[in-house]
Chain A
């Protein structure tokens, strides 16, 4: 009687080192994604690089994208890897589970440390990027904490470090701009000199608007009776689109105009010209004295509160008293 020995089972193939595979793949793909973001995408990211604030915002978006890309790459890579490598194949025990996991210290520590580092990095980076470019082009209220470097003066001339003050006035539905260093002249066109520190004083004569000079990376709410300060230094010549960024009535969408960044000498020429013209035709004298905010119900030239003036019968017999809130 002969007996046959049972055939020896082939030894199972050693499990590949999935962790190392995933890490190498993740590293290569993340590096590729970050290089692509920095060199191919960043130059086209909004709002461009027309001003210091805009450049910082573009840089911020690029850094955030670079920080987020490895996380996104890891999530997608792990998902695809699991689908491809750990899928059920013919002959596998479809009903079988893998080995239970009761905890993995390395994974837990890695997760906690990794997410903490990411959050703290974003916190520190965001704070620095808010402080260093003097508020990052955002409105800082009437008493800004982070101020732009420059000297204050009652006049402005090209070539110096003197800051240019520009008051932005919103009303339904138009923007106008006053230049206190040029006699308080007013314009419906925003004109700025290049390479000059600018202080915007943003306010409103009626409802809440928001001054958004897109290419300059400046956005500041325009609130009635509030002086909202924002800073910027334009670095290149060009056109600027100014939009209202706060729903302010039926023509909110049409509340925009354009500005221009010009050479310092061209700005000086323009501003002096407008000042002279408005002085000659009397508009300059007709404007209220320059102030950081205006009460539209008081007209200084008339010497008293507007709603108490007799004889004004426009607007169906009475004039926008603020205590008459018959809302539509």
Chain B
């Protein structure tokens, strides 16, 4: 093979490899950035963020992964994303619906509510018939080990915010979980949790995550939805108000 042919082959090989690498990078980076961001605007110094966590999701590729959803304040529709934005220095009121079953925390320290206003949450729980068997209980601890009523957590470590997310109790979790996402109250047991915290005074992106190793099927429950934007981890974009 002549020197020219060798050089041409090398050049073509380089172009092919560079193209593949670029495609893979763009596929993953582009895929991540394609997630929708739900924007919450302040009203009277407050925003109302509404989330739910489900035992599955409505994606075509990973339908059996546990997942969060974010409610669009304009349309009231659930968006399969974990990206949302709030204004800076604003009281953020969160309503969180827990449809997934209970799974004990890896570190039960995170049973303690931290970083919310008052370091408490207000909790209600409903059975599959819509009957409320716990009503507006304000608590600073939801013990994930003793009675198995924690499904996941909503944690923003950068703000020292750690909130255990209640689930239906163990018996209800075993029999009647919602099986089609996004979940709705009818026919499914669920927990409703509300809490508030102050967004930081400065703009920035704060990651949030679940601290329950809820990646079923993955080694020790890590990976999968635990490490994927749009499922059990996300970002809260704090924008200048």
Q: Which residues of A contact B (CB under 8 A)?
A: 169, 171-174, 176, 186, 188-189, 205-207, 249-251, 254-255, 257, 278, 281-283, 286-288, 296, 299, 301-302, 306, 310-320, 322, 324-328
Contact = CB atoms under 8 A, between A and B. Distances in A.
A288 B109 CA distance: 9
Contacts of A254: 157-158, 207
B104 A327 contact: no
Contacts of A174: 155, 157, 211
Contacts of A283: 109, 111-112, 141
Contacts of B101: 312-314
Contact of B108 (A251, A288, A313, A316): A288
Interface stretch (B75-83, B127-135, B142-150): B142-150
The list of the 5 closest CB pairs from A to B, nearest first, reads A320-B221, A314-B103, A315-B216, A316-B216, A313-B101
A207 B213 CA distance: 12
A281 B226 CA distance: 29
Nearest to A248: B222
B31 interface: no
Interface of B: 55-56, 64-66, 100-104, 106-109, 111-112, 114, 140-141, 143, 145-146, 148, 151, 155, 157-158, 160, 162, 167, 170-171, 173-174, 177, 207, 209, 211-224, 226-228, 233
Contact of B227 (A250, A282, A318): A250
A171 B107 CA distance: 8
Contact of B109 (A172, A176, A319): A176
Given A188-B160, A281-B112, A314 B102 contact: yes
Nearest to A177: B109
B158 A319 contact: no
Given A188-B114, A188-B160, A314 B151 contact: yes
B209 A312 contact: no
Nearest to B215: A315
Given A301-B146, A302-B146, 16 more contacts: A205-B107, A257-B160, A283-B109, A286-B143, A296-B107, A311-B174, A312-B104, A313-B174, A313-B177, A318-B216, A319-B104, A320-B215, A320-B219, A320-B222, A322-B220, A328-B227
Contacts, number: 157
12 contacts: A188-B157, A250-B227, A283-B141, A287-B109, A299-B104, A301-B146, A302-B146, A311-B171, A312-B170, A312-B174, A314-B167, A327-B223
A301 B103 CA distance: 14
B162 to A, nearest CB: 7
Nearest to B109: A186
A38 to B, nearest CB: 39
Best-buried of A176, A286, A306, A325 by chain B (most CB within 10 Å):
A286
B140 A314 contact: no
A31 B132 CA distance: 81
Contacts of A319: 103-104, 216, 221
B220 A251 contact: no
Contact of A311 (B173, B207, B213): B173
Contacts of B219: 320, 322, 324-327
B233 A251 contact: yes
Nearest to B228: A250
B217 A324 contact: yes
A250 B223 CA distance: 9
B224 A328 contact: yes
Nearest to B112: A283
B84 to A, nearest CB: 17
Contacts of A313: 55, 101-102, 173-174, 177
A134 B221 CA distance: 37
Contacts of A315: 66, 103, 212-216, 221
A313 B100 CA distance: 8
Contact of B107 (A169, A281, A310, A311): A169
Contacts of A205: 106-107
Contacts of A278: 112
Nearest to B170: A311
